[in-house]
């Protein structure tokens, strides 16, 4: 369940999984941000767990195209990249094992998860409707529905 109360800081902090791999779909999630142009400047986006150069390139293009304030945070053993997040967002294929879902649950951080062709263990109420896992515009609309009360 998403917390409708105002975020702790001035702008909501949205942490986006930056994994592009067999399971991670960071490029899909970044492409959805183009549909968020109207409100993107009102939130603080952070990408975490980025290890693919194509993801860094996509972030640079998004910044150039839209002037988006999108920070790439390196992994650290000293602090959690979810520490002050208001929302954790991810897109995945089949499995979410690579995600920080346990860490988000521990920190009581709501999660927006879109999963393409989920394995049976992930089919439950926490997985976004499947169309939004394939259509960036629908994914962006789901994200906006969560963020709208904070803006």
- 142 inside domain: yes
- 6 inside domain: no
Find the CATH number of the domain harbouring 114: 3.40.50.2000
- 3 inside domain: no
- 32 inside domain: yes
Question: Do 59 and 20 meet the contact criterion of CB atoms below 8 Å apart?
Answer: no
Window from 8-12, 23-27, 112-116 with minimum mean pLDDT: 8-12
Residue 142 tokens, joined? 């789901």
Domain count, the chain: 1
- In whole angstroms, what is the distance from residue 101 CA to residue 23 CA? 14
Other beta carbons less than 10 A from residue 132's beta carbon: 21
Confidence (pLDDT) at 68: 86
pTM of the model: 0.88
- 97 inside domain: yes
- 128 inside domain: yes
* Residue (of 92, 70, 81) closest to 23 by Cα position: 92
| 91 membership: H or E segment, kind and range | strand 87-93
Domain that holds residue 137: 17-150
pLDDT in tens, 47-103: 999 999 999 999 999 999 998 889 999 877 788 899 899 999 999 999 999 999 999
- In whole angstroms, what is the distance from residue 99 CA to residue 77 CA? 16
Confidence (pLDDT) at 92: 93
- 55 inside domain: yes
Q: What is the side-by-side order of every strand in the sheet holding 13-17? A: 70-73, 44-48, 13-17, 87-93, 111-116
Residues 6+ apart with CB under 8 A from 88: 15, 17, 82, 100, 101, 104, 109, 110, 111, 112
> In this model, does residue 2 exceed pLDDT 50?
no
């Amino acid at each position: 369940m998403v917390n409708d109360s105002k975020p702790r800081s001035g702008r909501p902090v949205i942490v986006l999984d930056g994994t592009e791999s067999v399971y991670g779909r960071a490029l899909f999630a970044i492409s959805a941000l183009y549909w968020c142009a109207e409100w993107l400047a009102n939130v603080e986006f952070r990408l975490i767990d980025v290890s693919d150069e194509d993801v860094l390139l996509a972030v640079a293009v998004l910044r150039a195209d839209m002037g988006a304030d999108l920070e790439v945070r390196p992994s650290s053993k000293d602090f959690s990249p979810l520490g002050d997040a208001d929302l954790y967002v991810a897109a995945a294929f089949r499995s979410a094992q690579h995600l920080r879902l346990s860490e988000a649950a521990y920190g009581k951080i709501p999660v927006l998860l879109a999963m393409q062709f989920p394995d049976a263990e992930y089919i439950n109420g926490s997985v976004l409707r499947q169309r939004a896992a394939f259509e960036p515009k629908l994914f962006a609309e789901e994200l906006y529905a969560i963020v709208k009360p904070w803006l």
